[in-house]
Amino acid sequence: MLNQLAFLYCASVIIGTALLAVRFKNPVYSVLSVLVLFFHMAGLYLLLNAEFLAAIQIIVYAGAVLVLYLFVLFLVSLREEVKIERFIKSHRLATAVSIGLGLSLLMIIPSFKLGAKGEYPVERITELTHTKAMGFELYSTYLLPFEVAGLILLIAVIGGLVLARKEEEIK
């Protein structure tokens, strides 16, 4: 019961802050509502006994990624109002597309099945601790995808460096 209440709270706050993040006119407020959103995401992970993920969610997303967003927001000088053309000109078409997307999302729901599954049911994770369980899986079963992901990120880092350097040289 308590768990369900907590889930309900987290879920509603996530939806609410997500909407706020889009609606706020002040970009700093948007970023801050995303921060609250990440917090409740971490709460959801905790409900799922995924404490490692919860901590990483806060450290990486809240502590690093969002701070970087804020950094960029502060640095970019907004002298003129940002004018963006609407992606879809027709209002009706836009409504139709979003309703369609929403429906297709709802259609996925029945494929969720409740209950323990796979090698790591909740009992096992509590016994092993989530960090260990995840470490085992990552570094044995999913070693190759993990390494590939790491490589891709490295490429992104190097790419970023190269781009930043080039701009400096032009100056």
Interacting residues with another protein (CB under 8 A): 25-28, 32, 35, 51-52, 54-56, 58-59, 62-64, 67-68, 70-71, 74-75, 77-86, 89-91, 129-131
Question: CB-based burial of residue 91 (10 Å sphere; 0-12 exposed, 13-18 middle, 19+ buried)?
Answer: exposed
Q: What DSSP designation does 135 have?
A: H
Distance of alpha carbon 34 from alpha carbon 51, whole angstroms = 20
Closer CB to another protein, residue 11 or residue 161? 161
Closer CB to another protein, residue 81 or residue 119? 81
User: Cβ 35 to another protein, closest distance in Å?
Assistant: 7
Q: State how far the alpha carbon of 27 is from the alpha carbons of 20, 38, 141, in Å.
A: 11, 17, 41
User: Cβ 64 to another protein, closest distance in Å?
Assistant: 6
Closer CB to another protein, residue 86 or residue 117? 86
